[in-house]
Amino acid sequence: MTTINNFTFVAITYNHSNYILEHLESIKYLIDNYGNGIDIDIIIADDASRDDTVTLTKFWLNKNSYLFNKIIVLCDGINRGTCKNLTLALENLATDYCKITAGDDVYSCENIFTEVKKIDNNHILSGLPLNLINGAIVPTQFDIFNYFATNIIYEKSQYITRLKKINFFNSPSIVYSVPALLNKDITSFVARFFVTEDWPLQIKMAELYRPLKFVQIEKIFVYYRRTANSAYIVKNSIFNQDKIEIFNYLIGSERNRFGKLLLRNRLFCYNLENRYLKRVFNLSFHLYGLNILMNIFFILSKVKKFDTQLVKHQNHYDLIASKAKEYNN
């Protein structure tokens, strides 16, 4: 049963013309099937796409405007980068709940409106990931193993601790509390970076909210599309510079000597070109592996119990893809 009154879908877009209709159709599916009685807004924040992303978005929104209480399309042609584009979108957020997703990802068939209610009295809620590669829903056992491992290893630690050490989270699967997203200290910190928004967002939240409250939902909210045009690949040098600046921030704010040593070691390894040496010399990597060994039975038990329901999700994606193709006819 739906227990929320309002909700906003926030889509961050950049050259997503090949995927934006699937993204929007997956939103339509959720509204048609689960959104009765909810005032739903949509915010599209485009970062100066050079393709037809904005044209297709406006065309689709014109056809489906009845679905939404409010429609906001931000597309002034200025390339700000993912982080500033996100903070601009958040300036227009006016509901109690929201979900931020890139415009090339696809929402699953799960009732996100019911699940998002669980963010109440928490700061971060996360689902589990499935990847979307060339039209196929791809299992992510390695990732899921490490998400469970991260939650078990750091269960009794402050959230900032996991962010300073080896940990796994999937940004498309995360829901943030709206009050945290609207906190100016958080948004101004995120705006310092260019394309890496998730790590600094969580760092500043963890610094401001102690203890930061996190809840893991063992359902798939979003299919994470992986392509050769993903931002972390296309803008790799900027992505790396963001990561280096974040490491330096964490090193500067760390008061524990051993913690500072580990962070400096991680930064050193991050800058190495040889991927094998990155692992061999990384002290945090070895500590993470040791913690996995110490908790291996609990981790494997969680992994074994979780059913990704690949057939269900592939069928859902195929439905969404077919709906999107109707606009090309």
pTM value? 0.95
Q: What is the DSSP string of 209-259?
A: SSSPPEEEEEEEEEEEE--TT-HHHHTHHHHHHHHHHHHHHHHHH--SHHH
Q: Which CATH number fits domain 7-229+308-328: 3.40.50.880, 3.90.550.10, 3.30.413.10, 3.40.50.720?
A: 3.90.550.10
84, 191 in Cβ contact below 8 A?
A: yes
pLDDT tens-digit readout, 146-195: 999 999 999 999 999 999 999 999 999 999 999 999 999 999 999 999 99
Per-residue pLDDT of the chain (329 residues; tens, 9 = 90+): 557 999 999 999 999 999 999 999 999 999 999 999 999 999 999 999 999 999 999 999 999 999 999 999 999 999 999 999 999 999 999 999 999 999 999 999 999 999 999 999 999 999 998 999 999 999 889 999 999 999 999 999 999 999 999 999 999 999 999 999 999 999 999 999 999 999 999 999 999 999 999 999 999 999 999 986 555 455 678 999 999 999 999 999 999 999 999 999 999 999 999 999 999 999 999 999 999 999 999 999 999 999 999 999 999 999 999 999 998 76
Counting DSSP H helices and E strands in the chain, the numbers are 16, 9
Q: How deeply is 112 buried, as exposed, middle or buried, from its count of CB atoms within 10 A (0-12, 13-18, 19+)?
A: buried
Tens of pLDDT, residues 208-255: 999 999 999 999 999 999 986 555 455 678 999 999 999 999 999 999
**Pairing verdict, β 106-107 and 214-225:** antiparallel
Q: What are the residue ranges spanned by the domains of the chain?
A: 7-229+308-328
Q: Could you tell me if residue 77 is left (phi over 0), alpha (psi between -120 and 50 degrees) or otherwise beta?
A: left
